[in-house]
Homo-oligomer: A and B are copies of this chain.
């Protein structure tokens, strides 16, 4: 097993200024594993759904080489459901409905053949559950990456800080970095957060790109300026999936390679927002991914020779 992904597999209902969906498949682990599958084939998911979940989507994941041996299916129960509405600028949204359902009593069990995974991606989830997965591994993975959100900062800060202290890379957005650190400047925020345990911090700024920090260096990856952003749902998870997928493929966790990984993550996220839900990232070709990467190169590369 190259990459173990933990997170929700769920249903979403989404409303954006451009349209709305009924229940469609979503969830952090869905986006992360789909995105990562363009880079590495040995992926396993640990998650939980009800028996109402979409069989076609499960088949799609399996066809991408994603092992669902760690996906618990709860008979007679319903999958996690989130309903949200985005504002005109797409940078903010209101949660209209959250039904925890199967997540309420979720007790993750890591299958034996997943316990030696080299890369562990902890998608957004209850911090205590994220910890339970880490402690079930046979040995410490080569790289542990944690994603979380403001909800856990608000209601489970101490538990979240414990989880943060256990990982190598933390990914959060700019508002969350400010909340977690108490610093407005993202440079100062990063310094404080890197004191909490992680060696690397990624601050996601949505349409304004992403920053990659370690204690000595900083790297910035822009978001691609797009003609249309249709639905931002899952963009952060797709970003994380491209990031860890590329690292799992190359098995190189140096800062230099993380720069490349963050560009791949940004490229995958730029696809995600072009259609509703997982639609756009279900069937990309290698050529499309390569072309998109080339657009990022063209977007930021310049040539200054300092004398």
Chain A positions within 8 Å of B, measured between CB atoms, are 88-89, 184-188, 205, 208-209, 211, 217-222, 225-229, 256, 259-260, 263, 290, 293-294, 297-304, 306
Contact = CB atoms under 8 A, between A and B. Distances in A.
Query: Which of A205, A225, A294, A302 counts the most chain B CB atoms within 10 A?
Result: A302
How many copies of the shown chain assemble into the complex?
Answer: 2
Given A260-B304, A306-B290, A220 B225 contact: yes
Contacts of A256: 302-303
A186 B298 contact: no
15 contacts: A185-B225, A188-B227, A205-B208, A208-B209, A217-B298, A219-B298, A219-B299, A219-B300, A220-B299, A220-B300, A221-B300, A260-B302, A263-B302, A293-B306, A300-B300
Contacts of A293: 304, 306
Given A205-B208, A209-B222, A220-B222, A185 B302 contact: no
A302 B259 contact: yes
Nearest to A226: B187
